[in-house]
Structure 1
């Protein structure tokens, strides 16, 4: 056996084994039983709400937690088909193969820097595939709508809750 044949065989075997491990169907990675994808959304909220979140750490955490609760409420009122599509996207974002396909990297989103996340989302925004653009728009609209659904966040918009005058 020639050295070149051995190295080529070893490389091909390693590549097939690595691909097999990533293609093997498995449940998405859940952190502490996170079936509602709160950790994933908590990573995506800051880059999508850049400039809208408070600068003070405690207020920022409260705003993110409130938004996470609103996201769960928003998801619960979506049509079943849209819920299924969203859960499929979130499962892809938590699996290694899904990350590789959608982002070009197997590094989990939780381990990426805010600049990397922003760059990833911007790449999705202007992606040549409509499906990837739809994924970006769906996540963006869900997060923005959930954030601004909370009356505490209306102040930055200059919006005040309407008051009705009762004639006595």
Structure 2
């Protein structure tokens, strides 16, 4: 079905408002993650790292929190323009209407299941839209970068650590 001109205009205006709101939320540049962003990144990390994390409980929550802390450190080390872009992505994903529309996740991030978040991530990974694929890649790289930046995760992939004596 082809959208009517009125639907097209409404969708365009709605998208513009969401982008404006996301930009406004992140106008300050480098800053600590908000509680909503931490919850979103926790849900994303929980889904992306599902096979590597303990099955449930406090050990899993602790490792997800460490990963989110690592993501915050990574973002703080990015160039200011990249920080703004990542901040806009985070800003969109934490706003309920955008979360539902763009990610298809109806529940708040703290209540979303691993399966729901996994479906959203897979839909972005395989999307026909390069913008969504790029957003998935950013979430993926930030999550796995934070995970594997910690020495306690290296053994699982057989990485012995950096060469000794060169630094």
Question: Normalization by structure 1: what TM-score?
Answer: 0.72
Where structure 1 has 5 or more consecutive residues not aligned to the other structure, the ranges are: 1-15
Deviation of residue 56 (structure 1)? Answer: 5.7
Count how many residue pairs are aligned between Structure 1 and Structure 2.
143
Whether 1:158 and 2:158 are equivalent positions in the alignment is yes
Deviation of residue 34 (structure 1)? Answer: 5.5
Deviation of residue 163 (structure 1)? Answer: 5.6
Distance 1:79 1:137 in 2: 17
Distance 1:120 1:164 in 2: 41
Deviation of residue 162 (structure 1)? Answer: 4.4
What are the Cα deviations for residues 86-133 of structure 1, in whole angstroms up to 9, with x where unaligned? Answer: 110111111133224312455433332221111111111101110001
Q: Secondary structure at the match of 1:160?
A: coil
1:35 alignment partner in structure 2: 34
**CA radius of gyration, larger in:** 1
What are the Cα deviations for residues 120-150 of structure 1, in whole angstroms up to 9, with x where unaligned? Answer: 1111110111000100110011000000000
Question: Normalization by structure 2: what TM-score?
Answer: 0.73
CA RMSD of aligned residues (A): 2.9
What are the Cα deviations for residues 36-60 of structure 1, in whole angstroms up to 9, with x where unaligned? Answer: 6212111111111121112363322
Where structure 2 has 5 or more consecutive residues not aligned to the other structure, the ranges are: 1-9, 26-31
CA distance 1:96–1:62, shift in 2 (3 Å): closer
